[in-house]
Amino acid sequence: MQSVAESLERLGDLARSATVTQVSTAFADAGHELALVGGPVRDALLGRDVHDLDFTTDARPDRILSIVGPIADAVWDIGRDFGTIGARFGDDTVEITTYRTDSYDGETRKPDVEFGNRLEDDLLRRDFTVNALALRVPEVKLVDPSGGVEHLLSRTITTPSSPEISFGDDPLRMMRAARFTSQLGFTVDEDTRRAMTEMADRIEIVSAERVRDEISKLLVTDRPRDGIELLVETGLADRVIPEIPALRLEMDEHHHHKDVYQHSLTVLDQAIGYEKERHPGSEPDLVLRLAAILHDIGKPATRRLEPGGVVSFYHHDVVGAKLAKRRLTALRFDKATIDAVARLIELHLRFFGYTEGHWTDSAVRRYVRDAGPQLERLHMLTRADVTTRNRRKADRLGFAYDDLEARIRELQEKEELDAVRPDLDGEQVMRILGLRPSREVGDAMRYLLELRLDHGPLGEEEATRRLLAWWSERSAS
């Protein structure tokens, strides 16, 4: 955390920014309180970039609309029933929410929304003390009823009320605590951690969509390992994504293999490193990170203890792809994400055959064809999967993949490999063979695609000759 003087200066700069000044002046002129709250205040104190602006006020939703409507570039009220009005001012997106003192029935996450009248009461209902901070504007006064600044200084995650009450109100806060360990680099205090462990089963009342969103937010932090380890150690992962803690395979004194759980965390770390190296400044790649942490989830189901102390995991790639598809579907991930992650897991072992013998151009073409739009992610995942401490072996695998990527580039330049197509299209095939649309046309197109993959571009004349020979032989048989 920056110095106290720097933190106060950052808060002052935030309060004096154009959007905050415009909004706070409008509320003051209307006779209402307004305060920046939560993340923007926390991040300003930490010296982090502030993005979206969250405000809270004593004004009710209809009154908020009447104040911001005339001055905002756009306004939306999709969260009106919960007291939230959204607005856009230039490049800034803001949310303004009425003070709330919600109550919960303990059976579901849906609260009885109750509007409040005091800022301090609103802050005390929030998830963690480091988020229960507010900056009154325009007067620039910090409000901290639960010691959030002290916890920022000690880099500690704890709750404003007792963790049992807080997590009872919203069990998803337990997963959010894990996310903040990764996002902020903070440590969850012992009482909060103990409550997470004892109340882990409460997460089961939270919708799959909210759990999915929290897992996604955790994975796109700079160091998701810390949060994943906390989810596993507290038992939360057993209830939301049990395939990860299942990677902690029991070791046998006679059969030895690497720690699959720690290996998977290292693969995730290394995949993030390759992602940042290849695409500096880009948004985090959720698909790659999901594939990295899940790539070996087929191992527990396929582990076999062989004679001589050997351990095998035959077909764990195929099994893992099916398990990942099932879990991500249960978590309500979108189909494109599910298919991409499953494909990467299914293909993540393919490269290791390259080190066992020289691949033909045909084999390289098929590798590219099978990876499709996931090729670059497959490059990063495969490289990240090398976690051996044997420097000679690591170098050999690295050099082999350098060679494979070089060959792919060469074939791409010569053959437009990214868009491998048969040398003839369906209309040409029907004309040459005298066919109408039918299964036979599909068979012919598949034959031509195999030719293209095996031999590269043949040209229309040679492709026609081979097609006629194939059709003649097929017809005779």
DSSP states of 266-313: HHHHHHHHHHHHHSTTSPP-HHHHHHHHHTTTTHHHH-EE-GGG-EE-
Q: What is the pLDDT confidence band of residue 389, given thresholds at 50, 70 and 90?
A: confident
Hey, is 430 helix, strand or coil?
Answer: helix
**pLDDT tens digits, one per residue of 399-436:** 888 888 888 888 877 765 556 678 888 899 899 999 99
Task: State residue 250's pLDDT score.
Answer: 59
Give the residue-averaged pLDDT of 346-359: 80
Higher per-residue confidence, 109 vs 23: 23
**pLDDT tens digits, one per residue of 293-331:** 999 999 999 988 877 777 888 899 999 999 999 999 999
Q: What is the pLDDT confidence band of residue 19, given thresholds at 50, 70 and 90?
A: very high
Task: State residue 446's pLDDT score.
Answer: 85
Task: State residue 253's pLDDT score.
Answer: 45
Task: State residue 102's pLDDT score.
Answer: 65
> What does the block give as tokens for 112?
């009885």
Q: Which residues contact residue 244 at a Cβ distance below 8 angstroms, ignoring those fewer than 6 apart?
A: 228, 231, 232, 237, 261, 264, 293, 294, 297
CATH number of 1-150: 3.30.460.10
Hey, is 427 helix, strand or coil?
Answer: helix
Q: Above 80 in pLDDT, residue 183?
A: yes
**pLDDT tens digits, one per residue of 251-291:** 544 345 578 999 999 999 999 999 999 999 999 999 999 99
**pLDDT tens digits, one per residue of 206-261:** 999 999 999 999 999 999 999 999 999 999 999 999 999 999 985 544 345 578 99
**pLDDT tens digits, one per residue of 109-160:** 566 678 989 999 999 999 999 999 999 999 999 999 999 999 999 999 999 9
Task: State residue 252's pLDDT score.
Answer: 47
pTM for this entry:
0.83
Task: State residue 216's pLDDT score.
Answer: 98
- Contact indicator for 130, 151 with CB cutoff of 8 Å: yes
Task: State residue 8's pLDDT score.
Answer: 78
Q: What is the pLDDT confidence band of residue 105, given thresholds at 50, 70 and 90?
A: low
d(Cα 345, Cα 378) in Å, to the nearest integer? 9
Q: Which residues contact residue 270 at a Cβ distance below 8 angstroms, ignoring those fewer than 6 apart?
A: 292, 383, 384, 386, 387
Q: What is the H or E stretch that residue 182 is in?
A: helix 172-184
Question: Could you state, in order of their start, the residue ranges of all structural domains in the chain?
Answer: 1-150, 155-240, 268-419, 426-476
Query: With pLDDT > 70 as the criterion, what percentage of the chain qualifies?
Result: 93
Q: Which residues does residue 98 pair with via DSSP β-bridges, in sequence order?
A: 57
Task: Order across the sheet with 34-37: list the strands.
Answer: 74-76, 84-89, 92-98, 53-57, 34-37, 134-136, 141-143
**DSSP secondary-structure letter at 373?**
G
* Intrachain domains 1-150 and 155-240 with the same fold: no
Amino acid at 260: V
Task: State residue 417's pLDDT score.
Answer: 57
> What does the block give as tokens for 176?
């959010």
Hey, is 127 helix, strand or coil?
Answer: coil
| Domain 155-240, architecture per CATH | Orthogonal Bundle (1.10)
Task: State residue 255's pLDDT score.
Answer: 43
Whole-number average pLDDT of the chain:
90
Task: State residue 388's pLDDT score.
Answer: 85
Task: State residue 254's pLDDT score.
Answer: 39
Q: Above 80 in pLDDT, residue 78?
A: yes
Q: Among the listed ranges 100-104, 141-145, 213-217, 372-376, which one has the minimum average pLDDT value?
A: 100-104
Task: State residue 286's pLDDT score.
Answer: 98
Task: State residue 359's pLDDT score.
Answer: 80
Q: Which residues does residue 156 pair with via DSSP β-bridges, in sequence order?
A: 187
Beta strands 156-157 and 187-188 are parallel
Task: State residue 56's pLDDT score.
Answer: 97
Angle at 439 between CA 417 and CA 424, to 5 degrees: 35
Task: State residue 385's pLDDT score.
Answer: 94
Task: State residue 456's pLDDT score.
Answer: 80
* Sign of the Cα pseudo-torsion (62, 64, 68, 74, in order): negative
Higher per-residue confidence, 158 vs 105: 158
